Amino acid sequence: MIASLSPFDPELGPADSVFNRVQLSVRVTPAKRAARGGDWCETFALSKDVIALSIGDVCGHGVEAFPMMLLVRQAVRDAALRGFDPAQTLAAANRAICMLDPWFYATAIFALLDTRRRVLTFANAGHPPPLMIGPGSARFLTYPAADLPLGIRKVSIRTSRVVNTPASALLVLYTDGVTEYERRPLLGETQLFDAARSAYACSAPATALAIEELMSLPAYNHDDVSILTASLPGVNLSPHLAWPHRLSHAARS
Amino acid sequence: MEATERMYSVEQRGDAVIIHVKGDLDVSSAPYLGSTIALAEGGAGTRIVVQMDSCGFCDSAGLAVLAMAAKRNGSAFFVVLPAAAPCRRSFEVTGLSVLIQIVSTLQLALDVELTPGSARRPAAGQKKASAWNSIQTGGGKVAYAASRRAARSSLRSAPSAELP
């Protein structure tokens, strides 16, 4: 089964789906109210347990970046369907881009989420880091040495990172249009962090859309904006966490 | 042109061409920086320094222009960015701080000894032929392979012509 959601046509609206109790939601808004943009954002199942999350941004935005975006997205898909791990997938896409156009550049994250073992394996090619929110923690998955974007060097070192995701965690992947709309990336990251935590706290069903609305992004965006979220199912270990009214009851007594 | 003059000033000092970036570096202004760098590449200077002290914001279009310039010019290309500069973070997130030589002061960029041969690049503004181009034009390896094939087939056909 391949469940692909890649709504580059905004008429489709937010496309949400569920895979092995993992809720996925995607939101793509091309720049300047164009129908198509330079961001891609999609999920597809690779086996009965593993789902691939792919997000990226080609240089430029709007309609002129669209054909190149299709090409890079397909290169990533091709490599992923051949069974490569995330680092190898991005390396293959990098080779494809370098061969076609030496003056072109894209940032991307490719991740494999093993829904049974709750393990996220991802590689990051110069893209803003993913955000992981768990029941007791929230952090950006950053590492001291960042890998270069795709298309810069023919041979470049790519690393797969492996992260254990807690039950009922929320993963947020996004493009720089989300954090840089006010031209202050640090402020943008804080806003995204807060918005994602609020969306997590109220367990909003269409999480990507909820985050976009909580961020109060301007209606007329100058860069493509994309958000992809994956909410893992929870384990009801503590009745207090599952039923908030009990918690408030305990606090009152 | 007016926008270019407002946002960039170019200065020649010794063997260096120094480009001061004043405003934000974004989708609308990055192409101007690209053409300014291309002009500097065609000039007499051997090293190109982009000074970004007073640049408040640099988006992916700006990073792309700087990355491509670094690719063309190798070790003769410098970006001056103090450690506390607001846009330094964008370079670290994208990993481009590995590719682009970032120095904290202008003097450092001017003091670095250039190794001979590192400074030169293909003619300014001229695109390097990609594999795609060489396939289409039949240049390079493809032409070599074709000539080898022709040589081999002529060798093979020569004895067979004598047999009957």
> What is the per-residue pLDDT across B86-134, written as a single tens digit (0 to 9) for each?
888 888 888 888 889 999 999 999 988 876 555 445 444 444 444 444 3
Cα end-to-end span (Å), chain A: 51
Q: Looking at residue A103, what DSSP letter applies?
A: T
Yes or no, beta carbons of A105 and B96 under 8 Å apart: no
Helix H, strand E, coil C: the string for chain B is: CHHHHHHEEEEEECCEEEEEECCCECCCCHHHHHHHHHHHHHCCCCEEEEECCCCCCECHHHHHHHHHHHHHHHHHEEEECCCCCCCHHHHHHCCCCCCCEEECCHHHHHHCCCCCCCCCCCCCCCCCCCHHHHHHHCCCHHHHHHHHHHHHHHHHHHHHHHCC
pLDDT for A31 beyond 70: yes
Yes or no, beta carbons of B26 and A153 under 8 Å apart: no
A235 or B145, which is more confident? Answer: A235
Q: Which residue, chain included where needed, has tokens 């240049």?
A: B139
Is A103 part of the contact surface with chain B (CB cutoff 8 Å)? yes
pLDDT at B129: 42
Using left for φ > 0, alpha for ψ between -120 and 50, and beta otherwise, residue A174 falls in: beta
Q: How far is CA A228 from CA A7, A182, B59, B144, in A?
A: 11, 21, 21, 48
pLDDT band at A123 (very low <50, low <70, confident <90, very high): very high
Q: What is the mean pLDDT of residues A71-89?
A: 93
pLDDT for A211 beyond 50: yes
Q: What is the mean pLDDT of residues A36-61?
A: 88
pLDDT at A33: 73
pLDDT at A94: 94
Yes or no, beta carbons of B132 and A184 under 8 Å apart: no
Contacts of B59 in chain A (CB under 8 A): 176, 180, 183, 223
Bridge partner list, A141: none
Bridge partner list, A147: A125
Q: How far is CA B92 from CA A16, A25, A59, B23, B99, in A?
A: 33, 29, 17, 21, 11
Pick B68's closest partner by Cβ from A99, A103, A183.
A103
Yes or no, beta carbons of A105 and B24 under 8 Å apart: no
Return the amino acid letter for A167: A
Query: pLDDT for A167-187, tens place per residue?
Result: 999 999 999 888 888 888 888
CB B51 within 8 Å of CB B18: yes
In terms of CA atoms, which chain B residue is nearest residue A105? B64
Q: What is the mean pLDDT of residues A116-142?
A: 94
Is A128 part of the contact surface with chain B (CB cutoff 8 Å)? yes
Yes or no, beta carbons of A183 and B26 under 8 Å apart: yes
pLDDT at A109: 97
Closest by CA to B53, choosing from B96, B9, B94, B12, is: B9
pLDDT at B2: 53
Pick B95's closest partner by Cβ from A146, A186, A222.
A146
pLDDT for A80 beyond 90: yes
Cβ neighbours for B136, distance < 8 A, ≥ 6 positions apart: none
Pick among B94, B98, B141 to test the A interface (most A CBs inside 10 A):
B94
A120 or B89, which is more confident? Answer: A120
- Angle ∠(B12,B18,B24) on CA atoms, nearest 5: 145
pLDDT for A249 beyond 80: no
Q: How far is CA A240 from CA A252, A253, B55, in A?
A: 14, 14, 50
ipTM of the complex: 0.73
Q: How far is CA A34 from CA A177, A210, A227, B144, in A?
A: 14, 22, 17, 46
Contacts of A62 in chain B (CB under 8 A): none
Pick A100's closest partner by Cβ from B68, B96, B132.
B132
Pick B67's closest partner by Cβ from A100, A105, A186.
A105
Yes or no, beta carbons of B24 and A183 under 8 Å apart: yes
Tell me the longest C-alpha to C-alpha distance in chain A. Answer: 68
As given in the structure block, the two tokens for residue A175 are 């493009």
**Distance (Å) from the alpha carbon of A105 to chain B's nearest alpha carbon:** 7
Q: What is the mean pLDDT of residues B66-77?
A: 89
What percent of chain B clears pLDDT 70, i.e. is strictly above it? Answer: 65
Yes or no, beta carbons of B99 and A153 under 8 Å apart: yes
Contacts of B68 in chain A (CB under 8 A): 103, 105
CATH class of B2-112: alpha beta
pLDDT band at B23 (very low <50, low <70, confident <90, very high): confident
Closest by CA to A226, choosing from A127, A139, A120, is: A127
Would strands A131-133 and A170-174 be described as parallel, antiparallel, or unpaired?
antiparallel
Pick B61's closest partner by Cβ from A59, A101, A102.
A59
Domain positions in chain B: 2-112
pLDDT for A190 beyond 70: yes
Element of type H or E holding A143: none
Helix H, strand E, coil C: the string for A52-96 is: EEEEEEECCCHHHHHHHHHHHHHHHHHHHHCCCCHHHHHHHHHHH
- Angle ∠(A89,A97,A183) on CA atoms, nearest 5: 90
CB A188 within 8 Å of CB A180: yes
